[in-house]
Amino acid sequence: MAGKTRVGVLALQGDVREHAALLAQLGADAVLVRRPDELSSVDGLVIPGGESSVIDKLSRIFGMQQPIRHAIAAGMPVLGTCAGLIMLADDIVDAIDGQESFGGLDVVVRRNAFGRQVESFEAVLDVPAFEGEPVSAAFIRGPVVESVGPGAEVLAELDDGRVVAVEQGNLLGLSFHPEITGERRFHQRFLARVEARRRVTAPPQV
């Protein structure tokens, strides 16, 4: 197909630039998405890390909550990191009053499961889905997946068994920040999903 894969980064709050830069390095046309018409122009969406309650609030102010939910239900590939994982989870533990998510991942996540920002850390993860070196993962006030429903698949766990990466169809959720450590393989996996869906949904050539 002609043209680059066009991927949106939800630009309401969080580490938007880092994701956009990494997607561009991987050859995608990365665009910032704040409004429904911008969402409708992309083939996939990244929900970055930040503060999930703020992303939730702003998504409703900007009229993005329902369009994103509809896009997820329609099969749009979405990658969520840290707060983005919380926004993709069907259920949230320790949410603030009235906090909602976009949903789609059949998981329960706990906000701020690793403590305050000063308690941030890096860990090496074994990800069986990837060949080569283990994953270097940065955890910054990240969530943890407390339970995984039958619809979702575990991609990575910490040494103590806590789940920190899950996948379900076109949705990929991570507790950590691969865009900070230079880890590209999760974004590559996401882009492969986007490309596959583009091929299926592309109009026939005349």
CA 142, CA 23: separation in Å to the nearest integer? 22
| CA dist list (Å): 110 to 35, 40, 95, 98, 180 | 28, 30, 8, 15, 22
DSSP conformational letter for 119: G
Burial class, 100, CB count within 10 angstroms (exposed 0-12 / middle 13-18 / buried 19+):
middle
Catalytic positions, please?
A: 82, 177, 179
Closest CA to 103 of 88, 121, 93, 115: 88
Please state, in angstroms and rounded to a whole number, the distance separating the CA atoms of residues 74 and 83: 22
Kindly give, in sequence order, each residue whose CB lies less than 8 Å from that of residue 190, ignoring residues fewer than 6 positions away.
44, 46, 77, 79, 172
Determine the Cα angle at 14 with ends 126 and 128, to 5°.
Answer: 10
Write out the two tokens for 122: 């890096």
